[in-house]
Each structure stands twice: as structure tokens, then as C-alpha cells.
Amino acid sequence: MRIINRIFKPWVQGMLAILLGLLILFVMARSPGLHRMLVDSVNKALRFPEKPVLELRNLVKFSSNWLLERASYQERITKLETKNFEMSKALQRAAIPVTAPAAGYVRALVTLRYPEEWWNELRIDKGKNSGIVKGTAVLSDGYLIGRVVDVASDYAWVELITSSSSLVAATVDETRELCILNGDNKGNLKLLYAQQDSEFKRGMKVSTSLMNEQIPPGVPIGSVIDESDSKDNYKQIRISAGAHLTQLYSVDVFVAKASEK
């Protein structure tokens, strides 16, 4: 009897399952609303064990992609740093006449400029040992390109005027209009807080205004391109930088006040 039960019990269970499945299919075919309700119920029931697994899979996938991209970027940055340093040394060895820095300035080489921070900052090979202090003006070809924001004994970091966090007091030479020079992290410059009734023409020169002891007034910055849309009852003036900001190999750092002290 036990042997018969063992043989027929699986068959009975299978037949019952088949009949139950056919019954469910028949009911769902006759009632689409019930079919959708059952599907929604199954989805809701499976969502609890399925969602954490999907989130974990996405997290693992994102982390692996982030690590691979970071390794790739780091390798590219290392190659660019090496190439930048070699180009700086080659320029120094080349038989190209280089103008001497003006009085009160020290010449420094650009040793690092990250691609992702191209318009924000760069590093130079001179620091406190050369009389450089925080906040001092940095020039290229006689034009302001930024100011020192961090200083070590033998190197310093320079914030470029094209950085969105850079704010420099500036004056339009022809009109003596006092404004604030600001960047956008993309290589563009603009003058903020220009009066609505002021007239600006293409080519007007822009230079630094009296700001502090580290940035002397009258340092050339660039020239006016045109006016842009007004904002908060003030004009915004687009500026073209006088220095070649994409070709910075050596710069001049203002140190007159530091040397006097």
C-alpha cells in the first residue's frame, strides 16, 4: 500500500496542479480585470525581495565603472603632468628670447594644470622661499591671469581669473567705470555691476582697480567685447583676456610688498 501511495501521490499532486493552473487561466481569460489584479499582486510581492537585489547590482556596477574611470583619468593626468613638465624644461633650454620679469615680480614656471580644472587653477614652481605670499597678483605677458591662493615653501597654487569663484576689482579705462571681474569656469570673462546708463564700446581697455596691497591698480586685464543682457538693473560686459590663457608656460608673480616687508 505504501509503495502504491509513493507512486501515485506525485501523479495526483501533478494533476491537481495542472487542473488548478487551467482553472486560473480560464478565470483570467473570462475576467481581464482579475488577470491584471493578480499580475499586480505578484509584482508587488516580488518587489520586496527583487528591489534590494537590483539596487545592490546597480551599486556594484556603478562602483566598478567609477573605479575603472578613475584609474583611466589618473593615468591620463600623470601623462599630462609628465608632458607638461618636459615642455616647460624644453622651453627653458630653447634658444628663444624670454623677457625678464618687471621690477617687483618673480618669474615662475607652470608645473601642473589639471584638465578638469583647466580654467580654475594651476601650480607654479615658486613659493615662500621666493617671497611669494597668498593673494598676490599673477601675470602673463603683462596681463593679469589670476592670484595666488595657496603657498608652500617651493610651490604655489594660482586661481585663474576665469574661475567662477574669482572676483577682482576692475576698471574700464576709458569710462573709469568700477566693476567686478568674474569668470564662468569655461574660459569666459565678464564685468559685473556696470551701470545701466554707461556706454561700452568694443576694444575699451580693462585693468585692475585699487583692491589690496597684493594686487596693484592699473594692471591690464583685457578689453571689452560687447554688452550682454542686463541683470538686477546692472549691465554685464563680456571681456576678452589680454593673456593667452590656453598657453601658460611661465608667469610673473607680484612680490614687491613682500620684499619690502
CATH of the domain at 121: 2.40.10.340
Query: DSSP character for 146?
Result: E
H helix or E strand, kind and range, residue 71: helix 32-93
Domain that holds residue 190: 105-260
pLDDT of residue 27: 65
pLDDT of residue 89: 61
pLDDT of residue 102: 62
pLDDT of residue 9: 61
Whether the predicted model's global pTM rises above the 0.75 cut: no
Residue 24 resides in a domain: no
Residue 57 resides in a domain: no
Residue 218 resides in a domain: yes
Burial class (CB in 10 A: 0-12, 13-18, 19+), 135: middle
Q: For the chain, how many structural domains are there in total? A: 1
Residue 139 resides in a domain: yes
Residue 46 resides in a domain: no
pLDDT in tens, the chain (261 residues): 555 555 556 666 777 777 777 776 666 666 656 656 666 666 666 666 666 766 777 777 777 777 777 777 777 777 776 776 666 666 655 644 555 556 688 999 999 998 889 999 999 999 999 999 999 999 999 999 999 999 999 999 999 999 999 999 999 999 888 999 999 999 999 999 888 878 888 999 999 988 777 888 899 999 999 887 666 678 888 999 999 999 898 999 998 644 344
Residue 94 resides in a domain: no
Residue with cell 627653458: 92
H helix or E strand, kind and range, residue 4: helix 2-30
Query: DSSP character for 98?
Result: -
Residue 223 resides in a domain: yes
Residue with cell 615653501: 153
Residue 30 resides in a domain: no
